[in-house]
Amino acid sequence: MDELLADFVAETREMLEQSGTELVAWEADPSDTARIDTIFRFVHTVKGNCGFFDFPLLEKLSHAAEDALAECRAGRREADPALVTAVLAIIDRIGELADMIEAGEDLVEDQNDIALIAALETDAAIEVQSDVSPVEPVSDEQDDAAPTAAKRNTVQRSIRLPVDLLDEVMKGVSDMVLARNDLARRLREAGEQPTIDGPFERLSAILADVRTSITRMRMQRLEHLFTSLPRLVRDLSSELGKQVMVDFEGGEVELDREMIEMIRDPLTHIIRNAIDHGVETPAERLKKGKREIGLLRFAARQSGNQISLLISDDGGGIDTERLGQKAVAAGIYSQSEIERMSDAQKHQLIFEPGLSTADEVSAVSGRGVGMDVVRANLERVGGSITVSSKPGEGTSFHLHLPLTLSIIATLTVSSGGQNYAIPRSYIEEIVFGSANSVEFAQAGARRLITFRGRRVPCLSLADVLGTEDNERCEWETKTLVLVRLASDDVFALAVDRVHDHEDVVVKPIAPAIMQTKLYAGTTLLDDGTPMMLIDLPSIAQMRGLVGEMRSKPALAEEQSRKKSKDGVPLMLFRGLDGRRRAVRLELVKRIDTVSCEAFDIDGERAQAVIDGRILPLAGLEHGTLPEGRCRLLRLSDGDSELVYTVSEVLDAAEMTEELVVSANDASIEGVTLVEGKPVPLVDGHTLFFKHSAPKRIDHPLKCRIPQDSDWARTILEPLVEAAGYRIAHEDDDDADLAIEIAGNAAPHGPAKETIRLRPDPEDAGDGSIYRYDRESLLAELKRVRTGRAA
């Protein structure tokens, strides 16, 4: 019986959460009969379950809500705000009672319960004129009827499992993977054994599939997080006298269940700030020429092993001048430092502790406490947050989150004879302390390094962990890992050696160890040796590095200008042919090491899969790829990216000598002397001209095609989408282009321009295009697109 009660409580909470979301949406569109049917079935199911478990108070409350909803279904009552508020109050009360059931408390009816039911009955007898056609109530027999065979085939079966059980299974699978890796190493040492190698490979494949399935069991669609947000927005809007509607996109994106719970509070705080500070009152919006109702938009995307979540509003934006004045008044920055900041830098001030632009403290926000905590919480799980704003147009928060808390990409380093893991998302660059481009300096008790025109603080990992003092540290022998936090603070971490990139399974550690703020978790190497995950944000906070570099923008800019006068920064590398070459350092975004299995090479087409993205691959003209793993330079021109394969990354250098321009080879800018030796400088403009993919259009034009044509769907639609258009649907108000095909019904709906296709190759003299004349069709599609842009 205890298990049945636990299932009842879990199912009740789930259904009530969904019904709350559906109610808010139904209030906005009372004519949506399908939605009211869904809400009615939720409440009806709860009532039925209460009767089975003999909870008369729960049954009474749900029955009262069911009666009110039945009146609406029959068209005898309208979904006004008072009714929706009353039903939501009933739902909240049922949730409270479910918590009491779970705690083993007795359910006793009080005056509040009577008042809740009375609020539902207030307008029950009033006849409301409505243009919605009455809907016949669905009987209980119909509600409880067995689903048809077709529905049974489409319904996915599911069971409820405790998260702790999933964690235990995940732990067991992770241990099996480590045992498999240990066995693989022993088999390699023992030499070829055909009778064992075959079964071992099958075991490895099965284990990989099981690990993938177990990982997916921890995942949950973001729509489960989104369901609770409309209710929150509605309540806050009503409290503040504003009108805000919510738009969701990407609810099908999946995220680790624990990650969803971790970001629930940060999202709630962002929403409260957006409605309180961002969205204006209806009167103010009308004066500014905006719609009376504000819009709060959520959009989620998956990119490789990261989730990108955008929260934006169409309110008044961030007042950067007022934010700067508050920062000066709080003593965080001086007036001269604020004046040197760009608007983008001033936007980041909202993450400073204790800083708020509100004139008065309200029950919703205004104390300047929260956004710094939001950023800290996201950084703790390997995420980041950035903000952008336009005056009068709104504010956007961009969250980057790891796909799962249990498996993250790390860099393995060693210090004092021990291996440690560093989250790869924080790492900007790796450089040797002995490099000519690195200069060490001492400022009081702090060690600083100057690298590429930037002066950043430097920490020794051994000193942080207490295994070696800074006084005994031989900085020139160390390897420096440049770390960039989500707050844009940069510092260097000195380690003995950098080993390799790898994905690791992160496990929690004891609370006493967590309190040291040095470690964020633990993992195991292939041989079963434990390895700690370094908590970089906490270390930076303890050492007073957060905000340090942002407080000295003039120093970095001054050094950068001085450096640019001395020489042009270059990245030296050795091509696949063994010859030294260079590329401008400003083009290099990062350096990757990947398996050659990530390459797709077919004739002149060469691509590489990096972090879940397909990027053009360059540099193959200089030789053949090595076996196993390959080094790549990821280059960016600001709009697009490509990867350049090299055999070895040498060092950063400066071009101080004259560049001798090459007239015969367009692939290089010219040849210069670096350390007395000639080095060709790769021409970035030519490189991106040859290899970069077209930039993705964020807001493509809409094109209508005949929906009744199989040829249009299978042949024409992919061609149109590849040309930068989005296929218009029937419910779209208008379209930029329509394509008509002779012999087919014309596309449904209006369009600004029309292209006609004919089945006959011969010119009909009517301006139509032969439907297999690819070049002419693409040229016409380009004409319409570029003409619109002009």
The 10s digit of each residue's pLDDT in 296-336 is: 998 888 755 668 888 999 998 888 888 888 888 888 888 88
Residue 789 or 11, more confident: 11
Report the side by side order of strands in the sheet with 446-451: 427-432, 479-484, 490-495, 454-460, 446-451, 438-443
pLDDT, residue 357, reads: 55
What is the pTM (predicted TM-score) of this model? 0.46
Final residue belonging to a domain, choices 622, 657, 691: 691
Tokens of 50: 């209460």
Domain match, 266 and 395 both: yes
Look at residue 158 and tell me if it is in a domain.
Answer: no
Domain match, 373 and 262 both: yes
Which amino acid is residue 761, in one-letter code? P
Q: Which of 110-124, 242-256, 309-323, 424-438 has the lowest mean pLDDT?
A: 110-124
Look at residue 231 and tell me if it is in a domain.
Answer: yes
Look at residue 181 and tell me if it is in a domain.
Answer: yes
- Residues 51-91 pLDDT 10s: 666 677 877 887 888 788 777 777 777 777 777 788 878 87
CA–CA separation, 113 and 118 (whole Å):
9
Domain match, 147 and 181 both: no
* 548 has a pLDDT exceeding 50: no
Rounded percentage of the chain residues whose pLDDT exceeds 70: 83
| CATH number where 660 lies | 2.40.50.180
Look at residue 371 and tell me if it is in a domain.
Answer: yes
| CATH number where 750 lies | 3.40.50
pLDDT confidence of 496, banded at 50, 70, 90?
very high
Domain match, 264 and 329 both: yes
The average confidence (pLDDT) of the chain is 77
Domain match, 52 and 76 both: yes
pLDDT confidence of 3, banded at 50, 70, 90?
low
Look at residue 377 and tell me if it is in a domain.
Answer: yes
Tokens of 500: 């390799």
Domain match, 261 and 396 both: yes
CB distance 323 to 357 below 8 Å: yes
Domain match, 376 and 256 both: yes
Tokens of 301: 């995307």
* 152 has a pLDDT exceeding 50: no
Look at residue 740 and tell me if it is in a domain.
Answer: yes
Domain match, 524 and 508 both: yes
Final residue belonging to a domain, choices 153, 174, 201: 153
User: How many distinct structural domains can be found in the chain?
Assistant: 6
Look at residue 562 and tell me if it is in a domain.
Answer: no
Parent domain of 543: 407-557
Domain match, 320 and 262 both: yes
Domain match, 291 and 171 both: no
Q: Which of 127-141, 151-165, 243-257, 659-673 has the lowest mean pLDDT?
A: 127-141
CB distance 580 to 679 below 8 Å: yes
Domain match, 129 and 210 both: no
- Residues 255-308 pLDDT 10s: 877 778 778 888 888 888 889 888 999 999 999 888 888 999 988 887 556 688
Look at residue 696 and tell me if it is in a domain.
Answer: no
Please give the C-alpha separations between residue 468 and each of 446, 494, 571, in angstroms, as whole numbers. 15, 12, 33
Domain match, 571 and 604 both: yes
